[in-house]
Amino acid sequence: MTARVSNIETPVSPSIWRNTAAWTKAADIAVVLMAISLPWSTSFVAIFAVTWLLLLIPTTELRDFSETLKHPACTIPVLLFALAVVGTLWATDIPWPARLQAINPVAKLLAIPILVRHFEKSGRGLWVAVAFLASCSAVMLASWLMFVDHRLAFDPMRTIGVPIKNYIAQSQEFALCAFAAFGAAVYLLRAERRASAAILMVLGAGFISNMVFVASSRTVLVCIPVLFAVFAIMHFNRRGGLIVIAAVIAAGAIAWTSSPYLRERTSMVITEYDAYHEKNAVTSTGQRLEFWRKSIRFIEAAPFAGHGTGATKALFERDAVGKTGVSAEIIANPHNQTLNVAIQWGLIGVIVLYAMWFKHVTLFVGATGLAGWIGLVAVIENFVSSLFNSHLFDFTEGWVYVLAVGVAGGMVNRVRAAAVTEINPQVTATVHAGQA
């Protein structure tokens, strides 16, 4: 007997390198892990960021670069990084290791356009938002537990209510989560999902209460009223907005009378200023005022292009010679984002910085949906807090900004692209056919 040869072909599985959907999903998970790690660790954020970039390699197309560069909100962060690189050339009296090290805080901004393009294609930005909210909620729970029973502190040497990192980073994270939760609650209420909306409102109130009664930076106490005003304007009509603002004022009055911690944090500004003004004492308020005063003088010496990348610390070192008290303090960060940029890259850098903030605001202010709201909160919070800190260049606060703007920006662009497709499907189909 002659054996029959089957003519049926066994289907061949596609190469793993060509399975774009799998690589994209894996990259999404890497960003989710970054969001989970951010409130707790710096090392894991760096590890997952590198992992994310490696996972993107099989999914990247040449068209991604051209499409991304069409958006000023994506190109301006790259321009600010390029300025930091070029700025090393005129920091002639600064050692090269210091110049190169000063590029590092700006480098994270390169992730913004990549995140925007990635989540514009993947559409899984909500995964990242939920992951970050859940991780910060765990931090908040640990903070409350430390506050209720000091014996539950992970480290007895840590500030009460701050289980990990520091109270400044924690406050920035909590404020973003609180207002993201409030915005999500509004959308859920309009969808008549009252139970879910109530849970998010309680969660947001928990973050705010923690900052009022347990631990907070004074910077975030400035951010919160601004964000509540934006919340009222963006989500309610004139009458509803006035009601929200009145309710916030009433709640603020209650918080002021019932929170000794809040009153102490606020009154310390006056005490610290007096100690600085009368005794040249090293206080938090005095340091900022001294840093700002010196920074303005440094900027006046090189107003157009600045002193170059990495010059800040060297300038403070030279000025501190022979001085005592707060006047002898040496810092590489003048605790103001504008001054930080202006010292190194002058008016050119300040224009690029404010252009970036402006384009990121315009990216989100006209957007509908939760992604637009989260992105807007992140930009406004970063702008206001950067009046008192260099949060864009700080690790945790900077990555909060990068992730929020990048992921939310991608989701907003995805919705807008879908709207264009829905309005004119015939034109879009013709374009895709031509590309094929």
- Give the per-residue pLDDT at 430: 47
| Among 370, 309, 376, 363, CA closest to 341 | 309
pLDDT in tens, 360-371: 999 999 888 899
Mean pLDDT value across the chain: 89
- Give the per-residue pLDDT at 433: 44
Taking the C-alpha atoms of residue 33 and residue 412, their distance in angstroms, rounded to an integer, is 22
- 112 or 277: which carries more pLDDT confidence? 112
- Give the per-residue pLDDT at 368: 83
What type of residue is 83?
L
Structure letter (DSSP) for residue 9: P
User: Which residue matches tokens 């929200």?
Assistant: 244
pLDDT in tens, 65-93: 777 888 899 999 999 999 999 999 999 88
Roughly what angle, to the nearest 10 degrees, separates helices 312-320 and 96-107?
130
Listed range (199-208, 251-260, 401-410, 418-427) with the worst mean pLDDT: 418-427
Taking the C-alpha atoms of residue 275 and residue 271, their distance in angstroms, rounded to an integer, is 6
Measured CA to CA in angstroms, residue 100 lies from 87, 209, 226, 339, 395 at distances of: 10, 41, 36, 20, 16
pLDDT band per the 50, 70, 90 thresholds, residue 425 = low
- Give the per-residue pLDDT at 434: 42
| Among 302, 140, 282, CA closest to 210 | 140
Taking the C-alpha atoms of residue 245 and residue 98, their distance in angstroms, rounded to an integer, is 47
pLDDT in tens, 23-58: 999 999 999 999 999 999 999 999 999 999 999 988
pLDDT in tens, 304-349: 999 999 999 999 999 988 888 888 888 899 999 999 999 999 999 9
Q: Residue 305: CB partners within 8 Å, gap ≥ 6?
A: 87, 90, 345, 346, 347, 348
Taking the C-alpha atoms of residue 217 and residue 397, their distance in angstroms, rounded to an integer, is 13
pLDDT band per the 50, 70, 90 thresholds, residue 423 = low
Q: Residue 1: is its pLDDT beyond 50?
A: no
Asked whether 402 and 110 are in contact (CB, 8 A), the reply is no
